[in-house]
Structure 1
Amino acid sequence: MELYTYYRSTSSYRVRIALALKGLDYHAQPVNLIAPGGGEHRQPAYLALNPQGRVPALRTDAGHLLTQSPAIIEFLEERYPQVPLLSRDLATRAQERAVAALIGCDIHPLHNVSVLNLLRQWGHDESQVQAWIGHWITQGLAAVEQLIGENGYCFGHEPGLADVYLIPQLYAAERFKVALDAYPRIRRVAALAQQHPAFVQAHPANQPDTPA
Structure 2
Amino acid sequence: MSQDLSTAAAEADVENGGRGLAKLNPQPRQAYDVVLKLHNAPGPFERIEGVAQYDVTNEAECGRINPETGTAGRITSQEPLALKRVADDEYHGTVYLDRMLDEDYYGRGVCHWKFSGTGALLKATGAHEETRFLTFIDADRFTAGDTLTRHYPARDYPRASPVEGPSGITSIEDYPARGNEDPTVFVPELREALFSISLSAKEAKQ
TM bin (shorter chain): under 0.3
Structure of larger gyration radius:
2
Structure having the higher helix fraction is 1
